[in-house]
Copies of this chain bind each other. A is one copy, B any other.
């Protein structure tokens, strides 16, 4: 929170931070600077969804290891150009933005084609082979918090179940009253403080890797639940496509920081004990949704170090 009075000085300090003694645990910036190509992964283009808006592109990574049926239906919908020309319908402050078909439920609704109309609830997973990187700290909402394949998650050792956590940027599938009433056509993104009470109440399908700032700034709707009250307020969706549907030249090549490495453990520690000069109290604690998972433009093998 540097004052602008000394922003230049603060930025200089940030730049100089890499000069810390080799024996000192690194800051977040240093962990990333020192990372190697093996600390990053390239998401599967079949799991990467591009939401193209007038303001630009939002990149989403799907999590089929948690929501296989939803991921498959979303892929099918993308291949059918289902969302092209539909819109963002809702923006509720400190909560979510949500898109879909404004005519859903009416005769004029867009057809679902070969996509399923309803899907089983995929609120959590019983898959014991999911590689879970545990956070030692207690969590407010889960018996155990941590990460699976780059996604913040909760776990209950007693039941053997694991689930995706509603941190900032989480993407979920809107549903009605019935647990199995979602189909992935209406997706929402968390744009505020983590609504972790939604965990295990709805299917999380992934998270936003890039472009959150295009969603978080959308004017809040004045209707109930933040719905836009007029068609003119809605934000049109140009198209939603899988990365794998587009030629290489139209894709956004991104790498995501792995969450199962020693480097990630250092990153969590750097966020837990803040060594940046600005901090007076180094904190000594960390919470699941306060660990950002770094994303960067992909580097070719030659550029990686």
Contacts and interface: CB of A to CB of B under 8 A. Distances in A.
Given A7-B227, A176-B10, A224-B11, A141 B285 contact: yes
Given A140-B139, A216-B216, A274-B197, A4 B104 contact: yes
Contacts of A286: 140, 197
Nearest to A121: B280
A4 B227 contact: yes
Contact of A193 (B13, B283, B290): B290
A89 B4 contact: yes
A126 interface: no
Copies in the complex: 2
A4 B102 contact: yes
Chain A interface extent, by class: 35 or more
Contacts of A285: 140-141, 197
Q: Closest 9 A-B residue pairs measured CB to CB? A: A5-B105, A140-B287, A213-B220, A93-B213, A5-B104, A3-B174, A6-B176, A197-B283, A168-B193
Nearest to A222: B213
A185 to B, nearest CB: 9
A157 B102 CA distance: 52
A89 B104 CA distance: 41
A94 interface: yes
A170 to B, nearest CB: 11
A251 interface: no
Contacts of A195: 290
Contacts of A218: 217
Given A94-B216, A193-B194, A196-B287, A3 B277 contact: no
A182 B5 CA distance: 10
Contacts of A104: 3-5
